[in-house]
Amino acid sequence: MVDRRGEAIGTLEFVARSPSRVLILETLAEEGVASRESLAAEVEVVRTTLQRSLRGLADRGLIRERGRQYELTSAGALVTRGLSAALERVSSANRLEPVLKRISAEEFTFDIDRLADATVVESTTANPYAPVDRHAASLADATHARLLLPAAGAKPLETTQQAIDAGATFELVVTTSVAETLRTSSPIADVFAPIAADDSVSVSVVTDEIEWYLGIVDDTVQIGVHDERGVPAALLESADDRVREWAIDRFDAFQRRASAFERDQ
């Protein structure tokens, strides 16, 4: 029996392990036909490497030479479309990896491709607080924010106060441990007290664990994750409508299970 899957994997391996072979296929897909000289200028590899790549692609039925010009075969066009789509997905996964590797796929009830255009701000050695800074800056400009908080920090609370002073409204759901921090731990408690007292803010407490931060800040969804030490590691932002629907459903589910925050408990 012919192992079609094994053949497919072999072809994929041959093409994908060489960036120049991928570029040859993509160039022919875009240009239609190309000479050896124009491919050499585009791919920028030595002549012998280019010759081996062209011969290998032709031997696998992906390209053919006609009149000193190269073009994709129908099989090559099909492979190139699939390969380009796969590379785009892998590129997205690599870019989103700082967040997605810390969240189970089961948590997302939408097609994960909806996050393809999301942005990620990652903590780095040069700027370890980059996710927190981005989160805080977004709150300062918010008009309405709904936040599931697994932790609390002074800087986001300070920008929350700025937004409230400008007329913004906030809905906060926190864990019992975060609620205790907001009540008793200076300087966070001092910053939070006037926020909790403001009529434009609702604060509720849930006994469930909130494993990662979720924010709906106007039309943008934020997902924030921490490392094993509890330090903010990355923040994802998406303006996709389906992602926003999912975020609202998740927030509402937590809020329904929550009870009102008591400032003097």
Alpha helices in 185-240 (DSSP H): 188-197
Return the pLDDT at 265: 62
User: First vs last Cα of the chain: how many Å apart?
Assistant: 73
User: What residue spans in the chain does CATH classification 3.30.870.10 cover?
Assistant: 104-260
Provide CATH 1.10.10.10 ranges for the chain: 4-88
Full-model pTM: 0.85
Does pLDDT of 227 surpass 80? yes
DSSP conformation class of 262: P
Whether 186 shows a pLDDT value over 70: the answer reads yes
Length of the chain: 265
Question: Does the pLDDT value for residue 3 go beyond 80?
Answer: no
Cβ atoms < 10 Å from Cβ of 236? 24
Report whether CATH 1.10.3720.10 matches the domain 4-88: no
Percent of the chain with pLDDT over 70: 98
Q: Could you tell me the CA-to-CA distances from 65 to 16, 52, 93, 135 in Å, in that order?
A: 21, 14, 36, 54
- Domain 104-260: give its CATH code: 3.30.870.10
- Ramachandran angles phi, psi of 208, nearest 5°: -65, 160
